[in-house]
Amino acid sequence: MDLTIIMPMYNVEKYIKQAIESISDQLVDNVELLVVDDGSTDNSLMVATKFIESLGSLKNIKLLHKENGGLSDARNFGLLNASGTYVWFFDSDDVMPRNTIDIIMRLVNEFPDLIHFEVAKFNSDERLPEQPLKYDFKWGKGIDLVKKLLKVKFPSYAVSYVVKKSVLEEINFSFPFGKLYEDLFTTFRVFNGADNIIDLHIFKPYYYRMNPASITAKVSTKSLINRIEAASTIKTFVESNTELPWDLIGHIVAYVQFDMFNYSDPDKKSISLTLKKIQRLVFSHISMKTKLKYTVIKWAGKSYIVRMIWIKLRSLRGKI
* pLDDT tens string 51-70: 999 998 777 999 999 999 99
User: pLDDT at residue 35 above 60?
Assistant: yes
87-142 pLDDT tens trace: 999 999 999 999 999 999 999 999 999 999 999 999 887 788 888 989 999 999 99
More confident residue, 139 or 216: 139
Pairing verdict, β 196-201 and 136-141: antiparallel
pLDDT digits (tens, 9 = 90+) for 271-312: 888 888 898 899 999 999 999 988 888 877 666 556 566 556
DSSP code of residue 175: P
Which has more pLDDT, 12 or 127?
12
Q: Report the sign of the C-alpha dihedral through residues 60, 61, 67, 71, in that order.
A: positive
Residues 6 or more apart whose Cβ sits within 8 Å of residue 184: 156, 227, 230, 231, 233, 234, 252, 320
**Per-residue pLDDT tens digits for 251-276:** 999 988 888 876 776 677 788 888 88
Q: Is the pTM of this model over 0.85?
A: yes
User: pLDDT of 225-247, one tens digit each?
Assistant: 999 999 999 999 999 988 899 99
For residues 276-289, one letter each, b for 16 or more C-beta atoms within 10 angstroms of the residue's C-beta and e for the rest, the string is eebbeebbebbeee
Q: How many CB atoms lie within 10 A of CB 100?
A: 21
Spatial CA neighbour of 298 closest among 265, 235, 251, 263 = 251
At 285, which amino acid appears? H
Taking the CA atoms of 241, 242, 245 and 249 in sequence, report the sign of the dihedral they define: positive
From the list 36, 14, 33, the residue with the least C-alpha distance to 25 is: 33
Q: Give, rounded to a whole angstrom, the gap between the first and last alpha carbons of the chain.
A: 35
